[in-house]
Amino acid sequence: MTTTTRKRALVTGGSGGIGAAICRQLAQDGLQVIVHANRGLAAAQALVEAIRAQGGQAEAIAFDVTDAAATAAALETLLLAGPIQIVVNNAGIHDDAVFPGMQLAQWQRVLDVSLNGFFHVTQPLTLPMIRTRWGRIINITSVAALAGNRGQVNYSAAKGALHAATKSLALELASRGITVNAVAPGIIATAMSEASFDAEAIARLVPMKRAGTPEEVADLVGFLASDRAAYISGQVISINGGMI
């Protein structure tokens, strides 16, 4: 285990498009980054190597955030090396269907990753974070929770619930030097959005006529994770090219 005085940041879904950009940004900002993956451990390990090659500190870990026991065991191991003061709940999936045709399994799967995953990951980290009197909890949600989106009743419900959780948890932790915020991206150019939005749809839906980049989201997350954002808590900040 690396010994360091750098603050440690866990980014769930660090193997994915937005998560990887967040990991790179936080490492560049001088944090020790824990790059989390589910099935994509090889991608997380490759990212760790890339961060280290640039002089940053990173390690990779894999667990399924829907598996409460596996998540608890992985976090327990991580916490042996000290508190994790920044957690970015970024792991997420969508499984779209118009509501009359939506299967219970689709509903449950999406809520399980975004909402139950938030609980499984964040709850065990809060007490060690509170003891340090400094922390950042950043939940990656979606513009779909703010404006709604056809075919995404499950996804927008999961992300909207995270907005509510963000506000309540921010109240609980405000006096402990811990901020809790949500970042709600619009259409960001990753594998997830490329499957759903072609260039025509992006031009129609986004006033800026382009998808955002993962790096633009990561920049905002990096700011919220920094000391400069110490007085921002309980907020949902959307980054969407003017969509809403």
Catalytic residue IDs: 155
Sheet containing 86-89: order of strands: 57-62, 32-37, 8-11, 86-89, 135-140, 178-185, 236-239
* CA nearest to 138, candidates 116, 106, 169, 99: 169
Give bridge partners of residue 32 from the DSSP assignment: 8, 57
* CA nearest to 15, candidates 72, 92, 74, 82: 92
Indicate if the alpha-carbon torsion angle 34, 126, 85, 87 is positive or negative.
positive
> Least distance in Å: CB of 175 to ligand NDP?
29
CB nearer to ligand NDP: give 188 or 205. 188
DSSP state, residue 8: E
CB nearer to ligand NDP: give 16 or 124. 16
> Least distance in Å: CB of 78 to ligand NDP?
15
> Least distance in Å: CB of 38 to ligand NDP?
3
* CA nearest to 18, candidates 226, 200, 230, 213: 213
137 φ/ψ angles, rounded to the nearest 5 degrees: -120, 120
> Least distance in Å: CB of 88 to ligand NDP?
10
**Site residues (CB under 6 A) for ligand NDP?**
12-13, 15-19, 37-40, 64-66, 90-93, 113, 140, 142, 185, 187-188, 190-193
> Least distance in Å: CB of 11 to ligand NDP?
9
57 φ/ψ angles, rounded to the nearest 5 degrees: -115, 130
Residue 4's SS3 state is: coil
CB nearer to ligand NDP: give 40 or 222. 40
